[in-house]
Amino acid sequence: MAHAFLQGERLYLRPLAGSDAKGRYPEWLNDSAVCRGNSHHVYPYSESKALDYISQVNSADDALVLAVVLKQGDTHIGNVALQAIHWLYRSAEFAILLGEKEAWGKGYGVEAGTLLLAHGFSAVNLNRIACATFSNNPGMRKLALALGMREEGIRRKAAFKSGEYLDVIEYGILRDEFRFPGPTA
147-78-113 Cα angle (round to 5): 15
In a domain, 116, yes or no: yes
Examine residue 17 and state whether it is found in any structural domain, yes or no: yes
Confidence of residue 3 (pLDDT cuts 50, 70, 90): confident
**Rounded Cα–Cα distance for residues 167 and 178 (Å):** 26
Classify residue 155: in a domain, yes or no. Answer: yes
Question: pLDDT digit string (tens) for 17-34?
Answer: 999 998 888 889 888 788
Q: Is the residue at 1 inside a domain?
A: no
Which CATH number is 140's domain given?
3.40.630.30
Q: What is the pTM of this model?
A: 0.91
Is 80 contained in some domain? yes
Number of domains in the chain: 1
Q: Considering the chain, what is the average pLDDT of its residues? A: 91
Task: Give the tens place of pLDDT for each residue, 148-177.
Answer: 999 999 999 999 988 999 999 999 999 999
In the chain, the percentage of residues whose pLDDT exceeds 70 is: 95
185 occurs within a structural domain = no
Report phi then psi at 8, rounded to 5.
-115, -165
Q: Which of residues 127 and 44 earns the better pLDDT score?
A: 127
CB atoms within 10 A of CB 101: 12
Residue 182 falls within a domain, yes or no? no
Residue 152 CA to residue 86 CA, distance in Å, equals: 19
Q: What is the pLDDT of residue 184?
A: 47
What's the pLDDT at 118?
A: 97
Q: CA distances (Å), 123 to each of 6, 105, 159, 181, in order?
A: 12, 29, 33, 14
The neighbouring-strand residues paired with 69 are 12, 76
| pLDDT band of 185, cuts 50, 70, 90 | very low
Helix (H), strand (E), coil (C) string for the chain: CCCCCEECCCEEEEECCHHHHCCCHHHHCCCCCCCCCCCCCCCCCCHHHHHHHHHHHHCCCCCEEEEEEECCCCEEEEEEEEEEEECCCCEEEEEEEECCHHHCCCCHHHHHHHHHHHHHHHCCCCCEEEEEEECCCHHHHHHHHHCCCEEEEEEEEEEEECCEEEEEEEEEEEHHHCCCCCCCC
User: Are residues 19 and 47 in contact, defined by beta-carbon separation less than 8 angstroms?
Assistant: no
Q: For residue 101, what are the domain limits?
A: 6-177
Report the alpha-carbon distance of residue 79 to residue 5 in Å, rounded: 13
